[in-house]
């Protein structure tokens, strides 16, 4: 059985205020063409269909159009909701739409109810596990406490129990939206980790033949049966070196997997340039970036006058301008914001405690309190978003 694995469409998202509507339309055209031309038997979309819980009308129109086109091809398609999606909104009409072969899996209570497919080698059970926010779903799985690993592990236990009751030789495919240990994040995913407690071990997915993962925006292979498709478009300059693709996955009769990547169309290449303004404007080595979307970090000791206007004379698609002045050894150290940039919340908090309490370290009890505090704040924010989405 040939599967197409994709995720993280983020319909409605922009790139540093540049509209991506036409680029997302071009990707969906490409997706439908690949499904038709490559003999795809089923499409797997592993979450974050939309960029926000209340998507704009243009984003909804794109989704509606691709649903009709996939339905017209007669190729079964399975969607799960991601952490950016409103599960309730994405799942509206799921029962009716399912009759057209478009299966929306957004309800945690349906984790162990697979979409049943078949080929010449027998049945294939496709389980859709929507994004499982622990604070909102742990009680459904009989858990009093626990983070993403515990909740997702409980869902996978139900999947394995259902699979065990099916005919021998049934192959199992799972869609999940999570941060799996070993994956490489970028700057454009919404953080679902607090001090590492949201990281999920790859062993959670033991017992299935293929796990189609979503959430991380770079295409990655954690194991032959465990892959991220990544986002089809770049959503931050941290993805400048990522090759944007979908996976074509061939599931053999014995459950073994082979996969190949199919490139997605890109609206423009990305470039990150660094240096003094005068050098960037004159250096011939940058000629190849003149039509790229560009992020520039200026290192001039004094901020130049009208730097964005000057840069856009040569690089008209400059979208982001940063400053990192060159320092001499006797100059002050970088700002606090610069020193903590990119560090996890828990690490920053521990550093603050050590700073205000010189000579002492953060013990495990204090570290646990800090984790609980961050988790409590994040859960409160998630509940607010869920209430807004309703």
Region 59-68: what's the mean pLDDT?
97
Contacts of 107 (CB under 8 A, 6+ apart): 87, 91, 94, 130
Residue 335 in this model has a pLDDT that exceeds 90: no
pLDDT of res. 145: 85
pLDDT tens-digit series, residues 40-50: 999 999 999 99
Dist CA 292 CA 76 (whole Å): 37
Q: Per-residue DSSP letters for 205-220?
A: GTT-SEEEEES-SS-E
Chain mean pLDDT for the chain? 90
What is the separation, in whole angstroms, between the first and last Cα of the chain? Answer: 38
pLDDT tens-digit series, residues 288-303: 999 999 999 999 999 9
pLDDT of res. 41: 97
Could you tell me the residue ranges of all domains in the chain? 2-263, 270-326, 338-389
Q: How big is the CA angle at 107 (ends 178 and 175), to the nearest 5 degrees? A: 40
More confident residue, 135 or 323: 323
β 171-177/210-214 pair status: parallel
Q: What is the pTM of this model?
A: 0.83
Token output for 282: 């004159």
pLDDT of res. 114: 97
Cα atoms found within 13 Å of the Cα of residue 323, Cβ hemisphere only: 10
Residue 225 in this model has a pLDDT that exceeds 70: yes
Dist CA 7 CA 228 (whole Å): 8
β 122-129/115-119 pair status: antiparallel
The domain 2-263 is classified under which CATH number: 3.40.640.10, 1.20.1050.10, 1.20.140.10, 3.60.21.10? 3.60.21.10
Token output for 296: 């520039």
pLDDT of res. 271: 97
Nearest to 292 by CA among 272, 308, 313: 272
User: DSSP secondary-structure letter at 114?
Assistant: P
Dist CA 244 CA 265 (whole Å): 8
Token output for 256: 């073994």
Residue 87 in this model has a pLDDT that exceeds 70: yes
Contacts of 49 (CB under 8 A, 6+ apart): 9, 11, 63, 79, 81, 82, 85, 90
Residue 383 in this model has a pLDDT that exceeds 70: no
Q: Exposed, middle or buried by CB within 10 Å (0-12, 13-18, 19+), for 166?
A: middle
Q: Exposed, middle or buried by CB within 10 Å (0-12, 13-18, 19+), for 194?
A: buried
Dist CA 47 CA 6 (whole Å): 9
pLDDT tens-digit series, residues 240-266: 999 999 999 999 999 999 999 999 999
pLDDT tens-digit series, residues 129-147: 999 998 889 889 989 888 8
Radius of gyration over alpha carbons of the chain, in Å? 23
Contacts of 6 (CB under 8 A, 6+ apart): 31, 43, 44, 45, 46, 229, 232, 246, 247
pLDDT tens-digit series, residues 163-216: 999 999 999 999 999 999 888 887 777 766 544 446 899 999 999 999 999 999
Residue 380 in this model has a pLDDT that exceeds 80: no
pLDDT of res. 259: 97
Residue 390 in this model has a pLDDT that exceeds 70: no
Residue 373 in this model has a pLDDT that exceeds 80: yes
Contacts of 273 (CB under 8 A, 6+ apart): 280, 286, 289, 294, 295, 296, 297, 315
Region 297-325: what's the mean pLDDT?
95
Residue pair 240/5 in contact by the 8 Å Cβ criterion: no
Three-state DSSP at 142 gives: coil
Region 110-129: what's the mean pLDDT?
96
Token output for 179: 């941060």
pLDDT of res. 195: 41
Token output for 103: 């299966």
More confident residue, 29 or 378: 29
């Amino acid at each position: 059985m040939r599967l197409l694995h994709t995720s993280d469409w983020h319909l409605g998202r922009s790139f540093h205020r540049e509209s991506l509507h036409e680029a997302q339309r071009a990707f969906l055209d490409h997706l439908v063409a690949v499904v038709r031309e490559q003999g795809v038997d089923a499409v797997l979309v592993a979450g974050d269909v939309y960029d926000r819980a209340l998507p704009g009308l243009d984003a909804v129109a794109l989704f509606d159009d691709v649903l009709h086109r996939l339905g017209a091809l007669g190729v079964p398609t399975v969607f799960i909701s991601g952490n950016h999606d409103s599960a309730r909104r994405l799942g509206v009409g799921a029962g009716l739409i399912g009759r057209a072969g478009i299966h929306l899996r957004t309800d945690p209570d349906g984790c162990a109810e697979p979409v049943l497919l078949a080929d010449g080698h027998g049945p294939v059970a496709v389980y859709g596990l929507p994004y499982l926010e622990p604070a909102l779903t742990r009680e459904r799985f009989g858990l009093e406490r626990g983070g993403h690993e515990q909740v997702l592990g409980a869902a996978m236990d139900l999947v394995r129990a259902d699979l065990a009751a099916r005919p021998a030789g049934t192959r199992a495919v799972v869609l999940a939206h999570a941060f799996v240990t070993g994956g490489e994040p970028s700057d454009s995913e919404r953080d679902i980790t607090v001090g590492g407690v949201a990281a999920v071990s790859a062993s959670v997915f033991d017992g299935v033949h293929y796990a189609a993962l979503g959430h991380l925006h770079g295409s990655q292979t954690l194991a032959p049966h465990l892959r991220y498709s990544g986002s089809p478009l770049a959503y931050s300059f941290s993805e400048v070196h990522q090759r944007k693709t979908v996976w074509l996955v061939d599931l053999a009769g014995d459950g073994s997997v082979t996969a190949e990547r199919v490139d997605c169309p890109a609206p423009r290449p990305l470039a990150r340039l660094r240096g003094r303004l005068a050098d960037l404007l004159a250096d011939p080595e940058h000629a190849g970036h003149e039509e790229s979307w560009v992020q520039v970090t200026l290192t001039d000791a004094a901020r130049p006058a009208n730097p964005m206007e000057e840069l856009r004379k040569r690089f008209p698609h400059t979208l982001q301008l940063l400053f990192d002045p060159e320092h001499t050894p006797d100059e002050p150290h970088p700002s606090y914001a610069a020193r903590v940039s990119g560090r996890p919340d828990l690490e920053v908090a521990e550093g603050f405690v050590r700073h205000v309490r010189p000579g002492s370290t953060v013990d495990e009890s204090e570290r646990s309190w800090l984790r609980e505090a961050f988790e409590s704040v994040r859960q409160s924010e998630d509940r607010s978003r869920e209430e807004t989405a309703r």
